[in-house]
Amino acid sequence: GAVVSQHPSWVICKSGTSVKIECRSLDFQATTMFWYRQFPKQSLMLMATSNEGSKATYEQGVEKDKFLINHASLTLSTLTVTSAHPEDSSFYICSQGKGAPVEQFFGPGTRLTVL
Amino acid sequence: AQSVTQLDSQVPVFEEAPVELRCNYSSSVSVYLFWYVQYPNQGLQLLLKYLSGSTLVKGINGFEAEFNKSQTSFHLRKPSVHISDTAEYFCAVSSAQGGSEKLVFGKGTKLTVNP
């Protein structure tokens, strides 16, 4: 199988602060990483796609300066929510791609609450 | 571009009853199809996938799905559900051409299994 971890599992922060979420693949090297957000009782919406060593590709409507993605290695990607506001409160889920065709393996998610 | 429609937002059933969760997709190219399950406050777990070959796909936990190209459907079935199957189920599609790895998700179906 393929195991993906996220840290932290939940975080509460004050409005205006920045929060970093880590996504790690524990037993494989991922060619591509994906970041999603999920609002309560809704589906997953893709925010961005990144490949190791290159800039992330953001989906339309996602602010790249607000949601900073760093894909530092084949096993680690980070999402930083800068100057967080209450409307950024959401469930953030990463996935890592493996194989051809690519299959995505999802992390357990991070619940962000901005007060 | 692809889209996914999950026709039922909620499906209540009794334990040991059969269940079908419906999924229809739209795409101008050939596709890969997936079903994921999400338990509360957790990430997504792959139930099964259709990449090619046999249109009847068997997955984990006794679930199966059938790819019907003419009806552009990929309905999920289980002959006898358990209380532990209570969860949110997402159908997803990705393009089988052009190397696109993006997953497009449906809005989800909440399956509630009652005793």
**DSSP characters over A57-81:** EEPTT--TTTEEEEEEETTEEEEEE
Angle at the Cα of A87 (from A54 to B5), degrees rounded to 5? Answer: 75
CA distance A75 to A82: 23
Tens-place pLDDT, residues B7-41: 999 999 999 999 999 999 999 888 999 999 998 87
Tens-place pLDDT, residues B35-77: 999 988 788 899 999 998 999 999 999 999 999 999 999 999 9
Which chain B residues have a beta carbon less than 8 Å from that of A101?
32, 51, 94, 96, 101
The pLDDT, as a whole number, for residue B111 is 97
Angle at the Cα of A11 (from A5 to A17), degrees rounded to 5? Answer: 120
Q: Which two tokens stand for residue B15?
A: 């334990």
Taking residues A85-96, report their average pLDDT: 94
Tens-place pLDDT, residues A97-107: 877 777 888 99
> Contact B44/A93, CB-based, under 8 Å?
yes
What residue type is assigned to position B4 of the chain?
A: V
Give residue B98's region: left, alpha or beta (phi > 0; psi -120 to 50). Answer: left
Chain B's closest residue to A35, CA to CA, is B102
Say whether pLDDT at B99 is over 80: no
Chain B residues in contact with chain A using a Cβ-Cβ cutoff of 8 Å: 32, 36, 41-46, 49, 51, 90, 94, 96, 101-108
The pLDDT, as a whole number, for residue B69 is 93
Taking residues B86-107, report their average pLDDT: 87
CA dihedral A93, A97, A102, A104 (to 10 degrees): -30
Neighbours of A34 (CB within 10 A): 26
Taking residues A26-32, report their average pLDDT: 80
Tens-place pLDDT, residues A35-56: 999 988 788 899 999 887 778 8
CA distance A67 to A53: 17
The pLDDT, as a whole number, for residue B96 is 83
> Contact B96/A46, CB-based, under 8 Å?
no
The pLDDT, as a whole number, for residue A99 is 74
